[in-house]
Amino acid sequence: MVNFAARYGVDADTCLLGTGVAESALHDPDMLIDREQEMRLIENLMLALPEVPALGFELGLQYNVSTFGIWGFVLRTSRNLREAFTSALRYLPLSTAYCAFTAFADDDEFGISADPGMIPRHLRQFLLERDTATGVNLMRELGLSGIRVHRLEYQGPAPDHAARIEALCGIAPHYGRTRNAIVLRRQDAEIALPMYDAHLVRLLDDQCRAQLERRQVLGLSGQVRQLLLGPAGLTASIEDIAPQLAMAPRSLRRRLEEEGTSFRQLVDAERRQLATRLLDGTEMKIDELALQLGYGDTASFNRAFRRWFEQSPGEYRRRAARVDGPTSDR
């Protein structure tokens, strides 16, 4: 993403602002960037390039098989595209995808559908388009011998940049559909891939499993954060969240304690992070911002903000304005 932004004249410091990631760390192959850091980078990219149509889709087309390391090799060494993507979905967290993907098939077609419901609303369209564009590019690269994506489907109405998506990938998206999906003809999905190696597939499967275990360090608290940032929202209680994890509230509370945190701490951390993003990147009024963060009144939000930063939201915004230039003080 940093390299992509550079093509539009956006420097690395702008991309990494507020992420806590140093530019030098991007060259460390063992460095793991967490969800919150990547989302902040995406927000920076969107704010820096608001005039670029279909920005997320164009970004997604930059990803190829080699981008993904072991996960990409699983794709490349599979028997065919159907097996490649069915296998890869087991280890989807090793990819850059934020959408939840599932495979589907019938007598005529095979495809993968994308559900962006777990993505924060203000990033949902960008990441849906990035993830589906990446899928289109991977299918094309693996297909090699002229296999084409048969259809690209999206729910909802066509955006203003629909023509730009077609220009970028040569496929006219179909809108108003019941799913977001990349569809192949089944006969194309079952064409043998030239690098198929059954032994290597098993070896890479083991390595993917080990790498996935390493990356799941966020454990249950990470799942709770995803729900708070996604469909549940920051107004959700532990009683709302627990059933979505197939747990009783008491069990969820105990498991979070075992991970050294609590539901209240997780909500507080997400509110704190989102508060600074909204104060930095919008002119939203403080009372509206408080409601957005799930507070019953502005006074409660002001007290929480003082606890976090030892200053009021208005003071925080004024100081940011002095650094970054004029901003509406509300």
Question: What is the chain's pLDDT, residue by residue, as a tens digit (330 residues)?
Answer: 999 999 999 999 999 998 888 888 888 766 767 777 888 999 999 999 999 999 999 999 999 888 888 888 888 889 999 999 988 898 888 888 999 999 999 999 999 999 998 888 889 999 999 999 999 999 988 876 577 899 999 999 999 999 999 999 999 999 999 999 999 999 999 998 888 888 888 888 888 877 776 555 457 887 888 778 766 678 889 998 988 887 889 989 988 887 778 999 889 988 888 888 788 777 888 998 888 888 889 999 999 999 998 899 999 888 766 655 544 443
Spell out the residues 6+ positions from residue 285 whose beta carbon is closer than 8 angstroms to its own: 330
- What amino acid is encoded at 276 in this protein? T
| pTM score | 0.67
Q: What pLDDT does residue 328 have?
A: 41
Q: Where are the domains of the chain?
A: 1-52, 59-196, 218-324
Token output for 288: 């509206």
Spell out the residues 6+ positions from residue 158 whose beta carbon is closer than 8 angstroms to its own: 173, 175, 176
Whole-angstrom distance, CA of residue 73 vs CA of residue 60: 19
Spell out the residues 6+ positions from residue 161 whose beta carbon is closer than 8 angstroms to its own: 53, 54, 57
Q: What pLDDT does residue 329 have?
A: 41
Q: Side by side, which strands form the sheet with 181-185?
A: 100-105, 109-115, 181-185, 151-153
- Using an 8 Å Cβ cutoff, are 272 and 263 in contact? no
Give the H or E element holding residue 111. strand 109-115
Q: Per DSSP, what are the bridge partners of residue 104?
A: 111
Taking Cα atoms as reference points, which of 165, 195, 157, 197 lies closest to residue 182? 165
Q: What pLDDT does residue 217 have?
A: 47
Whole-angstrom distance, CA of residue 323 vs CA of residue 21: 20
CATH annotation of 218-324 = 1.10.10.60
102 three-state secondary structure: strand
DSSP state of 269: H
- The residue count of the chain comes to 330
- Using an 8 Å Cβ cutoff, are 110 and 82 in contact? yes
Q: What pLDDT does residue 214 have?
A: 59
Q: Per DSSP, what are the bridge partners of residue 183?
A: 111, 151
Whole-angstrom distance, CA of residue 32 vs CA of residue 38: 10
Q: What pLDDT does residue 324 have?
A: 53
